[in-house]
Amino acid sequence: MPRYALKIEYHGKPFSGWQRQRDVSSVQQTIEDALLKLEKNCEGIQGAGRTDAGVHAYGQVAHVDLDKDWDEFRLSEALNYHLRPHPISILQAARVDDDFHARFGAIEREYTFRLLARRAPSSHEAGLVWQINNPLNIEAMREGAAHLLGQHDFTTFRSTICQAQSPVKTLDVLDIEEIPVNYGTEYRFTIRARSFLHNQVRSFVGTLERVGSGSWRPIDVKHALEAVDRSACGTVCPPHGLYLAHVTYTNDPFA
Q: Is 183 helix (H, G, I), strand (E, B) or coil?
A: coil
Measured CA to CA, the distance from residue 36 to residue 228 in angstroms comes to 45
pLDDT band of 160, cuts 50, 70, 90: confident
For the chain, residues classed under CATH 3.30.70.580 are: 3-104
Measured CA to CA, the distance from residue 106 to residue 108 in angstroms comes to 6
Of the candidates 23, 33, 52, 172, the residue annotated as catalytic is 52
pLDDT at position 23: 85
Question: pLDDT at residue 163 above 90?
Answer: no
Segment 182-209 mean pLDDT = 97
pLDDT in tens, 79-130: 999 999 999 999 999 999 999 999 999 999 999 999 999 999 999 999 999 9
> 79: buried, middle or exposed (CB in 10 Å: 19+, 13-18, 0-12)?
buried
For the chain, residues classed under CATH 3.30.70.660 are: 106-246
Nearest residue to 57 (alpha-carbon basis) of 84, 88, 82, 28: 88
97 given a catalytic annotation: no
Q: Which class does domain 3-104 fall in?
A: alpha beta
Segment 144-166 mean pLDDT = 94
pLDDT in tens, 196-217: 999 999 999 999 999 999 999 9
pTM of the predicted model over 0.85: yes
pLDDT in tens, 33-78: 999 999 998 989 999 999 999 999 999 999 999 999 999 999 999 9
Please check whether the domain covering 106-246 is classified as CATH 3.40.50.2300: no
